[in-house]
Structure 1
Amino acid sequence: MAEHHFHLKADWPGLRNDVGTIETVNLKTAVSIPIEMDGPGIGTNPDEMLLGAAATCYIITLAAMMERSKIEKESLTMESVGIVDYTDGIITYKKIIHKPVITLPKNMPENKLRIVQKLVVKAEASCMISRALKGNVEVAVEPVIQ
């Protein structure tokens, strides 16, 4: 398999509490330190971007696994929470919790329901971003299957 290279350009014109920009092929945004960490809170920040990377990787992986398993769904939505500890000037990204809500068609066979229950866990373990975080940031899944 070939390597893939992703590129990001960053510009930080000022000091700690100023605002910079980042740009990739499909994303251009202002960045700054979040208000919760005594920053200006303009644009996004590394904490949100890490959460966004983990969440999008997880939900895409889960959708792909459901498709490969021929599991039909009515909807797949999710909220994710990133928990960052900021104590004595030391910032630690402690945990990410994904809370997918999967709505399945009525009369879903029990065997397919069991497959979905396994896939919500397997998708987290299979996601490239979750694997990159392993050992540093706990990632948990709290699914609702209805």
Structure 2
Amino acid sequence: MVQHKFTMDLTWSDGRNGTGTINASNLKTQISIPQEMDGPGIGTNPDEMLLGASATCYLITLAALLERSDVAVHDLFLQSEGYVSVVNGVFTYEKIVHKPTIVLDNLTEKLETKIARFAQKAEQTCMISKALKGNVVIECDAQILGACI
């Protein structure tokens, strides 16, 4: 078994509406509660970071699936949305929707069907998606386009 260890050092001051810092090998930023949740909105926040972890894992997984299948991608874009609800003062991360746009030079109907399957498979096999399964709904709404050359 190979196990990888990731570490992060954090600081925090001044109670709920205070601010803090995150310091990891490639991530250094301020943190606070977002303004939408009556916080100061300084730096990033747990909601953005969870969305970022899910989105980057999904995108990398999708790129790997496409590469392994020798699909020549012209462009690959992703917009992801995270939905948090508040019920009786309790915040719940309900859903993440990944919206990849995959652009190919030589798009055929057969290839479009194959890529649509990869878009769904990436969501199902991504490490972060698997970690969130059962707690956060994750959906994929892929747009597959032919490049205008």
TM-score (norm 2): 0.94
Residue 94 of structure 1 corresponds to 94
Letter in 1 for 2:79: E
Residue 117 of structure 2 corresponds to 118
Structure 1 residue 110, shift from structure 2 partner: 3.6
Residue 16 of structure 1 corresponds to 16
Unaligned runs of 5+ in 2: none
**1:97-122 Cα deviation digits (max 9, x unpaired):** 0000011113x344332221110000
**1:6-55 Cα deviation digits (max 9, x unpaired):** 00101012211011001100000000000011000000000000000000
Quick one: distance in 1 between partners of 2:35 and 2:127?
A: 29
Q: What is the correspondence of 1:4-83 to structure 2 with a 5 Å cutoff?
A: 4-83=4-83
Residue 143 of structure 2 corresponds to 144
Task: Give secondary structure in 1 for the equivalent of 2:99.
Answer: strand
Structure 1 residue 135, shift from structure 2 partner: 0.1
Task: Give secondary structure in 2 for the equivalent of 1:121.
Answer: helix
Task: Give secondary structure in 2 for the equivalent of 1:93.
Answer: strand
Residue 103 of structure 2 corresponds to 103
Task: Give secondary structure in 1 for the equivalent of 2:64.
Answer: helix
Quick one: distance in 1 between partners of 2:60 and 2:30?
A: 25
Percent identity between the two aligned chains:
52
Quick one: distance in 2 between partners of 1:19 and 1:61?
A: 33
Quick one: distance in 1 between partners of 2:141 and 2:108?
A: 22
Alpha-carbon RMSD: 0.9
TM-score (norm 1): 0.96
Q: How many residues align?
A: 145
Unaligned runs of 5+ in 1: none
Structure 1 residue 86, shift from structure 2 partner: 1.6
